[in-house]
Each structure stands twice: as C-alpha cells, then as structure tokens.
Amino acid sequence: MLCLPFLHPRKNAGTPMDSIQTLYQSIKQGSTTPLNLLDKYLDRIKQIDPIINAWEFLDPQQARSDAIIATKEIASGLHRGKLHGIPFGVKDIIDVNDWPTRAGCMSWTRSLARQDAAIITKLRKAGAILVGKTVTTAYASFDPPPTRNPWNLQKTPGGSSSGSAAAVASGMIPAALGTQTGGSITRPASYCGVAAIKPTFGWISLQGVLPLAQSMDHMGMLAPRIEDLEIIWEEITQTKKNNPEISKPPCIAVLKSFFWDNASEEIRQMLDETIKKIQRAGAQITFVELPETFAKSIAEHRAIMSYEAFKIHEYWISRRPEDYPPKITSLIKEGSKIKPEYYLDCKNQQKYWKDYFETNLKQHDCYMVPATTTEAPSNETTGDPAFNSPWSFTGLPALSMPCQLSQSGLPLAIQLVAQTNSELKLFQLGKWCEKEINYSYRYPDGLNKIIKAVNF
C-alpha cells in the first residue's frame, strides 16, 4: 500500500485547504462550474481514497447528473445560494434516497433508503451535490473504522464520523455531514485538523438518521474553516446573522479542573499558548474551576447512551449478533443492565448540568476547553470522547477548531461552547479566535503532489 510521508513536527507546509467561500466565488464568477468542480473532487477521491478509506459508497453518475443540472441553472442566472454546486459527503447513518445505509456494518441487510433524511432535503434545496456516503464506525459507536488519519496513517481519524473528517482533511470533499452522541463530530474533526460544529440538541432534525441514543443524538457538519461551517449553517437553517462582526474582544471562560486534569501535557501546553494569543488580542479570560462532582457526568452520559442504545438495538442484536462488533456489543450489554430508576437519575443530572452551564454562560460569551485529551492515538481505538461528551450530554452547541500541530505533527484543537441556540454568535466568536490563533489551514504535507495535480 502507498504510504504518505508524515509532516515535519509542528510545521505544515501543505497546500492551503479549499474554502467553500472561494469555491462559491469561482462558480459565481464563471471561472469554474459545478460539473468541473465535481470532476476534480472525484479525481482526488480516485487517487486518495485507496490510501485513506474514507468512503463507504460513491454515486459519481448521479452526482455528475446533479452537477450538470446545477451548471445549467447557474448559467441561466439561477443561483440557489453559496452551496449551489458544492460537493458534499454524507455520513453513512443518514438516509439518502436510493442509496444504501450500512451504518458501518457490511453484512447489514437493510434495503436502499426509500426517501431522503430531512437534512438531505435541505442540502438538495440549497443546491449541494451529494457525492457519496462516508465511513462511520459500526452503528456510530466506538469500534475502530477502516479509515486512516490523513496526517499519519497509523493514527485514528477518530469516530464515529471518521470518514467525514478524513475526507475533508485530505481534500476529497469540501464539506461533510456528521452525527454526535458522545464525541463523534468534534473529536474526529480535531484529530484530522478541520473545523466542526455540533449544534444545539434538536436544532437540526434527525428524521431519516439511524439513532444511537435519541436524547443525545446530534446532527452536525465538518468543513475546512469556521467560515465554511457558518455558510452551511445559514443555508440549511435559513437563518442569517443579524449581528455585526465582533467589535470588541470577547469574554471567555476557560474551564479547568476536569478539562485540565485529564489532558496530556502537550494539550495543556497548546491550551496555554492559545490563551496567550487571544489575550494579547484583548480577550478577557476567566478561569473556572468545575465542581468535583462534574467528573461523574461522564459515567452518567455513558449510562444514558447505553440504556437508549439497548432499547434501539435489542431486537436486532438478539437475532443477528454477528452484525455487532465488540465495542457496540459491550455498550448494548451495559444498557441491558441499567435499571430505569438509575436512568432517570442520570436524566435528572443531565438537566442539572445543562442548567449549570447555561447559568454560568450569562457572565461570559463562551467557554473554551481542549477538544481532545491527547493528540490522535493509534488506529486501534477511536480516542477518548471525555472532553466532547459533556456537550452532547447537556446539548449545548460546541465548535471545534485546530490551533497548532503537536511535536509529532498531528493537529491539536480547542472547543468553544455557547448557550443553546446561539450558533451564529458562536461562529462569530470562533472566527475571531481563529484570526488571532492564526492556524495554517492546509492539507497534510504528504498529499501535496496529489492535491496540486488535481487543483482547481
């Protein structure tokens, strides 16, 4: 198998990442067309995916047909918006009409989807071009996927939105959908060096999405930069920012205790350096020590997830246990042993911590925490979701963004967390921090030859 050379430590000399805004402008100005753009991405997929394994299913014929329609529409003066003609990847637990939904299990016998998921309907209306399904871990759980991390093939891309993160990070697609119940959007985005948003719980419909734990499942997006996420958000939610760009440095609460004690030394150093950068730009930083009892919320989140996963999968796992790999099997077995009384206790704690974080955010613009406990670990795991699951547990929106590379050349990231239903504000805060942090959004150095050969 072809292997990619790894990056020089802490230096990324790769090709700059594609921007949805730039691609949109290129289409609008006529320097490219949706069809030409799609063909370039399909060419990249052909060359890169045998190495990365980010795609579960591709439908180039239908994608080209849709791109031809988009090209004709734009040529006639019909512009649907900034996603018109932009290729998109879809995590393989989200239904797309006439496409298979395998949910990370090749032996799963589910038939082709009979209709689009709600989010797919919105993407089609916006003019996005659906290219295929990206790899998910089995049933969006914890079993390691076949997908490789583009920054180091021996490292995990994270999960469960493994293929979405790796496809965006390696330049095979400019944006992709993901889902998160624990850390399945923000963790892989962090390991792969792209931006991601896990929105407020319930903001985006999950109709047509295979559930894992219905009271904590979230739909989200991954893209190269925060500006790209903002574009996607505005197009699919039809909400436009009515606030101007941030006019003064924000007030940010850095959560310590749990998020410091469980971080590696390199993650702590990254956080310190990031704080210094934004402080120099005028950000007001407050350090907040969380109660010791917060650590219990990780187990409470796990209990809710396992209990609800058992309720969802009880029938099928009893009849087709061979379709369930070890980690999802273990999760379901855990759930079968949880008593309803304990589940309800955990649900009460879920509300308590949501209210706790919401109340404290009245004094700050957002929270800042590391996105992961360490750099991407080996590909025998999907990594630790401990720093992501609190926001799936409480339902608060979380935005992840890379800040620097580790000594071994792997992306390290932070998360910004805001009050519920304040995604537009969160994007503004993220873009302000992004500017001051000045991370170089580039593809991994080992992909340079392929990316440059198939450039736009």
Over the chain (456 residues), the average pLDDT of each successive run of 10 is 38 78 97 98 97 98 99 97 99 98 80 95 99 98 98 98 99 98 99 99 98 99 98 93 77 98 99 98 98 98 99 96 96 99 99 98 98 98 99 99 98 99 97 96 82 66
Evaluate whether residue 75 is within a structural domain: yes
Pairing of β 218-223 and β 284-288: unpaired
The residue whose two tokens read 């800040």 is 403
Domain that holds residue 279: 20-289+356-453
Evaluate whether residue 304 is within a structural domain: no
CA pair distance 298, 23, nearest whole angstrom: 40
Cite the DSSP H helix spans in 104-253: 118-126, 162-169, 186-192, 226-237
- How many distinct structural domains can be found in the chain? 1
Q: Write down the pLDDT at residue 239.
A: 86
Evaluate whether residue 5 is within a structural domain: no
Q: Is 234 helix (H, G, I), strand (E, B) or coil?
A: helix
Under 8 Å between Cβ of 175 and 78: no
Q: Which amino acid is at 145?
A: P
Q: Write down the pLDDT at residue 110.
A: 63
Q: Write down the pLDDT at residue 109.
A: 54
CATH number of 217's domain: 3.90.1300.10
Evaluate whether residue 216 is within a structural domain: yes
Evaluate whether residue 199 is within a structural domain: yes
Q: Write down the pLDDT at residue 2.
A: 39
Residue 12 DSSP symbol: -
Evaluate whether residue 309 is within a structural domain: no
Under 8 Å between Cβ of 387 and 393: no
Evaluate whether residue 294 is within a structural domain: no
Q: Which amino acid is at 218?
A: H
Q: Write down the pLDDT at residue 58.
A: 98
Token duo for residue 188: 């892989």
Evaluate whether residue 307 is within a structural domain: no
CA pair distance 199, 17, nearest whole angstrom: 23
Q: Does residue 53 come out as left (phi exceeding 0), alpha (psi in the -120 to 50 range) or beta?
A: left
CA pair distance 200, 415, nearest whole angstrom: 14
C-alpha atoms less than 13 angstroms from C-alpha of 155 in its C-beta half-sphere: 22
Peptide linkage before 107 cis (omega within 30 of 0): no
Q: Write down the pLDDT at residue 454.
A: 67
Task: Report the predicted TM-score, pTM, of the whole model to 2 decimal places.
Answer: 0.96
